[in-house]
Chain A
Amino acid sequence: MKMLRGKSILLDLKEIDDNPGPYCMSFHFDLKALVRSIEHCGLINDPFIILTEEGRAEVVIGYRRILALKALKMESIGCIDLSDSGLSHLDLLLLNLSENLATRQFNDLEKGMILSRLMIYISKEKVIEEYMPVLKLPSHVETLHFFLNLDGLDQQMKISIAEKVISLRAIKMLLDMEEKSRFSVFLLLAKLKLNFNKQIHFIEYIVDISHKEGIGIPDLLMEKSFQRILEEKPLNNPQKVKRVMNLLRARRYPSLVHYEDAFNRKISQLELPHGVRLCHSPFFESPDYMLEIKFKKGGELKEKLKILSRIEGLDNIGNPAQKDQ
C-alpha cells in the first residue's frame, strides 16, 4: 500500500478555483445534502489539493465539499496539499478515481469525463482493457468512442443524460445526426417528455421520414402538422405525445396504418359482445388472430360464444383490409 505524502494546510477558499480542474470527475450534482451535512457535523474529511505555479489551488479530491463550503460562505478550509508528494498528473487523476469509486456511482457523463481524461495519459488499449470494466462499461472501442463523444455535447443535453431524462440509446442515435438536426430533435424530445421507448421510436420515425422524403430534420419538425399539435392548447402533454407519434407512424408506415384502421373498422362493425376482444398478430405478420373473452361464469361464456357464432362478419376477418383497400 502506498502512503500519501501530503501536508495539512489552511487555505483561503478564494484561492481555490471554482472550475473542477483536471482531476475532478463530478458533473451535475445536488449540493444541498452535502451543505446540510457540513452545517450539522462540520467537514469530516479534508479535501486534497495541489498548488499551481501561479499559487492557485487545484482540487484533486473534494471538489463538491469545497463548493458546499463556498455556498456556506466559509472563508478558509483545512486541506491536504499534495504539491510535494511526487505524484504525477496521472497519479492524481487515479487518486480521485479510486476515491470516487469507493464512495459513489458515476453518471454516464462522468464516465465520459473520466475516460477522456485517462486517454490523455494512458493508451486506448489499456483504457479499454483496464478502466472500462472498472466503470462497469463493456471493453469495446465503439463504447469508448461513444462515451468520449458525450463530453462534446451541448450542456443541456449533458444535463438530460446525467438526469436520465434521455436514454443513452437515444443519445447514440442523436450523435449520428449533424448538429442542427440533433439539437432540434433533442428540444422536441425534452418538450414532449417522451419515455425511453418512445424516444427511440420518435427518432427512428424522424430519421426514416427525413431519408425517405428528402427533407431535412429541422424542416420536418417545423412543419405545420407538428406545430399545430404542439401548440394546441386544450391538449395535455400525453395527448400531444400520442398525436405526434400517430402522425409520424402514419407517415412512416402508410400501408400498415391503413391496414390497422381497416381492421379496427371491421371489428367495430361486428358488434362483439361486451368483454370480447379480437386481436391481430403484431403487424399482421402471422395469419393467426386472437380472441379474448371475459366472463365470470360458464353460462356467461356459453352465451357469448353463442352470440359470436351468429356474427356473420367474422367469416371475413381473415382478410381485414379486403373491402376497405
Chain B
Amino acid sequence: MKDFPIKTLFIEKGADGYSFGAKIIERLGDIPVDRIEYDVDNRYQQLNNMDKESIRLLRFQGAFLKTCPGTKEYICCGYQILNVGTNCTMDCSYCILQAYFNQPSIRVFVNLEEQLTTIGQLIDSRPEKIFRIGTGEFTDSLALDHIVHWSDILIPFFLGRKNAVLELKTKSNQIEGLLSSPVRERIIVSWSLNSPYIVAKEEHGTVGLKKRLEAAKRCQSEGFILGFHFDPLIEHPDWKEGYMKTLEMMDEYINPKGIIWISMGCFRYMPGLKTIIRKRHPETHILDGEFISGLDGKMRYFKPIRIEMYAFMVEIIKKWYHDPGLYLCMESDEIWTKSMGWSPGNSEGLSHYLDKRVIEFFG
C-alpha cells in the first residue's frame, strides 16, 4: 500500500465502548473525529468516490461469517467469508466493491471480538467439516493491519482449531503485524497477483509486484504457508508475456513447495458495474474483452477465451511446479476439463480437493 491517506475518522452511534475500536482511535492519533448519529442516507448523496480517505467504526448488525455466495451454474470452492470490514484504501478499476457506492468509507466492524465467540462455537460444533475462512472478500486483509490490528485478534483465534484455517488475502506489504505474532499455525497468507501491465494500469494505490513478492518471501521464510490468486485474469496486449513475467518473479522469490493453492478466475462483473467502471476509470481497457452474459448473469469472457487463458496459466505454472494446488474460481465443469485437464465435477468436489490440501499442509 502506498501513502496512507486516511483523513477523517467517523464513529457511528453504538460503536463506542469496544476496546478494539478504542485502540484504533488511539493508533490513528491526531486526525479529525466525527461522531455520527446514523449512517449516510444514500438517497440524497452522489458518492462518486467511495470516500476511501475516511475510516468508519461501526457495530455491524449482520452475519460475520457467511459462505461464499456461489451459484449452482459454476463450481464454487465453498469458502467462508469472515466479514470484518468493507472497502479498502486501494482503487482497482475492476473492484466489485465499486458497485456498493451507498456504503462510503473504509468500514471497520468494532464488534468483531464478541462475534468471534459465536463463530468459534460454530466451528467447534462441526469437527468433521473444514472451515476455510478468509477476510479478503470485502476488504484487503492486511492493508490496514498496522492501524486496525485484525491480525492481533484473528491469528490467536485460529490457533488450535484443527478444522479451520484463516486465509489473509492482500495486495499490500503490510506484514509486520503478522510477523510479530509467534503463531503460524492454521494461517495462510495470500497475495493477489496479476501481470505487471495490469498492476501498473489497473490496480491503483496498490504496491507493485516486487514488493508483494518480497513480502511473501519474508512471510515464507518466517514459516507462513502461502497462497496466490490470479483473479482477475485480464486479457490485454501481450497478456501471455505479462503473466509469464509475473511467474518468473514468483520463481525468483518463492519456494513453490510452500504454496497451498493458486486460484485463477477470469475477470467477470455484474452488468451494473460496467457504467461505474467507465465513470470512475475512464482510461481503463479492462472492459475491452469479449464479455458475454454468463449462466449466473455476470458478464464473463467468451468461453474459448477463458479456456485459452486458463490453459496457458496452467501450462506455465505447472512447468514451474508440478503440484501448486491450482483451482478455478467459479467456472464450469467444461472449462475445468478443457483447461486444467481434470475437473472436481461440482462444488463439493472442489471443496474436498481444497480441504485435502489443508490437511496436507496443516495436518
Residues of A bordering B, CB below 8 Å: 124-125, 128-129, 139-142, 145, 176, 207-208, 211-212, 252-256, 259, 282-287, 321
Contact = CB atoms under 8 A, between A and B. Distances in A.
A285 B278 CA distance: 26
A199 to B, nearest CB: 16
B357 interface: no
B144 interface: no
A290 to B, nearest CB: 15
B43 A141 contact: yes
Interface string B35-46: 000000011111
Given A141-B43, A283-B302, A208 B287 contact: yes
Nearest to B301: A255
A81 to B, nearest CB: 39
A256 B290 contact: yes
Contact of A255 (B44, B293, B295, B302): B302
A176 B46 contact: no
6 contacts: A141-B45, A176-B279, A256-B290, A256-B302, A259-B304, A285-B295
A208 B288 contact: yes
Nearest to B304: A255
A128 B303 contact: no
B285 A212 contact: yes
Contacts of A128: 43-44
A68 to B, nearest CB: 40
Interface string B156-200: 000000000000000000000000000000000000000000000
B292 A256 contact: yes
B275 A176 contact: yes
B304 A212 contact: no
A36 B140 CA distance: 69
A193 B303 CA distance: 33
B44 A124 contact: yes
A212 B287 CA distance: 8
Given A208-B288, A211-B285, A284 B303 contact: yes
A256 B294 CA distance: 14
Given A128-B44, A145-B46, A212-B285, A255 B305 contact: yes
A129 B45 CA distance: 13
Contacts of A284: 302-303
Contacts of A254: 290
A124 B304 CA distance: 49
B334 interface: yes
B290 to A, nearest CB: 5
The 3 closest A-B pairs by CB, nearest first: A283-B292, A212-B288, A287-B334
Contacts of B304: 255, 259, 321
Given A253-B290, A285-B294, 19 more contacts: A141-B45, A176-B278, A176-B279, A211-B278, A252-B290, A254-B290, A255-B290, A256-B290, A282-B293, A283-B292, A284-B303, A285-B293, A285-B300, A285-B303, A286-B295, A286-B332, A287-B332, A287-B334, A321-B304
Nearest to A284: B303
A208 B46 CA distance: 25
B10 to A, nearest CB: 20
